[in-house]
């Protein structure tokens, strides 16, 4: 008898909760449904006159692309565009991938990059044409690139695995590149029987909140901070102490 009273009490409780909750539930049904994701086919309404076949045919159209082709395509690039980077003056620098030539895209008078124009800027020296390298715009507007997993050979016919430690800074006002010596404390590396010397390669880089450029080494645990005025390096991070 006691168990039957308990069950009856639970049933009554559930009924009361349902009675109280129903107005809220019915009100929730009147809310505007969340829009479906782009490209998804919404479910047909229960009493819709649209057949599933008609619905499928009307929803197969691809959404408009958010990309707009440039009016002036960079067709002059030998190996395609690489490392696009926005300068502080609003122009965009682009490297001819793995080659020493660099190009600047300048927006038109209305600020349109779509209708922008291309001009060639100063090229890197023939001995430093990197592919897969660090890059950043410094607070003073100059562009720094460091390292490179590959370098273009002198004949410009082959990209050679190098893990280069070279670097250079581009001044957009003077339109010149200035070589940057590698951090002198970065270790030499050797892969099997091949000795590569110091490396930076395709390592990470970042401009810190205080404006200092920080450079990692692809192949060790070393990092360095650059004094952009004197182009000298200071050790930092775990790599500062190497007990071995």
Query: In terms of Cα–Cα distance, which of 71, 64, 107 is closest to 86?
Result: 107
| Residue carrying the six token digits 């390292």 | 147
Mean pLDDT of 91-99: 96
Higher pLDDT, 127 or 23: 127
Report the greatest alpha carbon distance in the chain.
99
Residue 59: the pLDDT is: 59
Indicate whether 14 pLDDT > 50.
no
Among 217, 235, 211, 237, CA closest to 225:
235
Terminal Cα distance for the chain, rounded: 82
Number of CB atoms found within 10 A of residue 167's CB: 26
pLDDT single digits (tens) 184-225: 999 888 766 677 788 999 999 999 999 999 999 998 889 999
Identify the pLDDT of residue 195: 72
Q: Give the torsion through C-alpha atoms of 109, 110, 112, 114, to 10 deg.
A: -70
Q: Is residue 24 part of a domain?
A: no
In a domain, residue 45? The reply is no
Answer whether residue 138 is part of any domain: yes
The pLDDT value given to residue 61? 75
Q: What pTM does this model have?
A: 0.71
Asked whether residue 60 is assigned to any structural domain, the reply reads no
3-state secondary structure of 111: coil
Structural domain of 153: 125-240
What percentage of the chain has pLDDT greater than the value 70?
72
Within a domain: 107: no
Dump pLDDT digits (tens) for 115-149: 999 999 999 998 999 999 999 999 999 999 999 99
Residue 164 resides in a domain: yes
User: Which candidate, 154, 151, 130, 105, places its Cα nearest to that of 205?
Assistant: 130
Sign, CA dihedral 98-103-107-113, equals negative
In the chain, pLDDT over 90 holds for what percent of residues?
61
Q: Is the model's pLDDT at 1 over the cut of 60?
A: no
101 part of a folded domain? no
pLDDT at position 78 over 70 = yes
**8 A C-beta contact, residue 229 and residue 179:** no
Q: What is the side-by-side strand order in the sheet with 232-236?
A: 205-207, 213-216, 223-227, 232-236
Strand residues in the chain grouped as ranges (E) = 81-86, 92-96, 102-106, 117-120, 130-131, 134-137, 143-146, 150-152, 159-161, 167-171, 176-179, 188-191, 194-198, 205-207, 213-216, 223-227, 232-236
Q: How far does Cα 1 stand from its chain's mean position?
A: 71
Which of the pair, 21 or 236, is modelled with greater confidence? 236
- The pLDDT, as a whole number, for residue 63 is 87
For residue 54, tell me if it sits in a domain: no
User: For the residues of 140-179, what is the DSSP string, one character each?
Assistant: TS-EEEE--SEEE-TTSS-EEE-----EEEEETTTTEEEE
CATH of the domain at 195: 2.120.10.80
Question: In total, how many domains does the chain have?
Answer: 1
Return all residues near 171 (Cβ < 8 A) that are at least 6 apart: 142, 177, 178
Return phi, psi of residue 88, to 5°.
Answer: -70, -15
Between CA 143 and CA 4 the distance in angstroms is 82
């Amino acid at each position: 008898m006691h168990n039957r009273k308990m069950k009856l009490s639970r049933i009554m409780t559930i009924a009361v909760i349902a009675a109280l909750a129903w107005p809220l539930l019915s009100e929730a049904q009147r809310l505007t449904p969340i829009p479906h994701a782009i490209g998804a086919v919404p479910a047909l309404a229960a009493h819709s006159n649209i057949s599933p076949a008609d619905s499928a045919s009307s929803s197969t159209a691809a959404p408009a692309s958010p990309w707009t082709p440039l009016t002036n395509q960079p067709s002059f690039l030998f190996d395609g565009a690489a490392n696009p980077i926005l300068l502080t003056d609003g122009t965009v620098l682009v490297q001819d991938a793995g080659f020493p030539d660099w190009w600047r895209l300048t927006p038109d008078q209305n600020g349109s990059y779509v209708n922008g124009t291309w001009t060639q800027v100063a090229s890197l020296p023939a001995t430093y044409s990197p592919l897969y390298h660090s890059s950043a715009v410094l607070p003073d507007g100059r562009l720094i690139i460091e390292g490179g997993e590959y370098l273009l050979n002198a004949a410009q016919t082959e990209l050679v695995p190098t893990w280069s430690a070279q670097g250079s800074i581009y001044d957009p006002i003077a339109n010149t590149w200035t070589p940057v010596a590698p951090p002198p404390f970065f270790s030499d590396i050797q892969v099997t029987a091949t000795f590569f010397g110091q490396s930076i390669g395709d390592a990470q880089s970042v401009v810190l909140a205080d404006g200092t450029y920080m450079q990692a080494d692809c192949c060790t645990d070393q990092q360095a901070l650059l004094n952009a005025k004197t182009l000298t390096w200071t050790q930092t991070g775990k790599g500062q102490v190497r007990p071995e």
